[in-house]
Amino acid sequence: MSKYLNVQEVANMLGVTPATIYKIINHPEVSKRIEPVNRLTYRGDGGYRFSADSMELVKEQVIKKDLTIADTAKLLNRSKSFVHG
């Protein structure tokens, strides 16, 4: 049986607040939502639950690698000192 995570655990995994998770659950664009396994029964279940496997996939999509100063300068077509300053 797969493991289920609650809102706090998902928030910690993604590095966001629980309030952000609730906003993502109810996002107006369906393609940008994260779907709990118990959307219809969450009140009786003591809160939303998420499949740990699906949250690993979400984590890969949500957490972006930070750009270095050199990468940013190249994207903006500016010098490194311009970006850093």
Domains in the chain, ordered, with CATH? Answer: 4-83 (1.10.1660)
Rounded distance, CA 82 to CA 80, Å?
5
Report pLDDT for 1: 52
Predicted confidence (pLDDT) per residue in 28-69, tens digit: 988 888 999 999 999 999 999 999 988 887 887 776 778 888
Number of H helices, E strands in the chain: 6, 2
Q: Which residues are 50's β-sheet partners? A: 5
The mean-pLDDT minimum among 4-8, 62-66, 74-78 falls in 62-66
The mean-pLDDT minimum among 1-5, 42-46, 67-71, 77-81 falls in 1-5
* Residue 6 pLDDT exceeds 80: yes
Q: The pTM is what?
A: 0.67
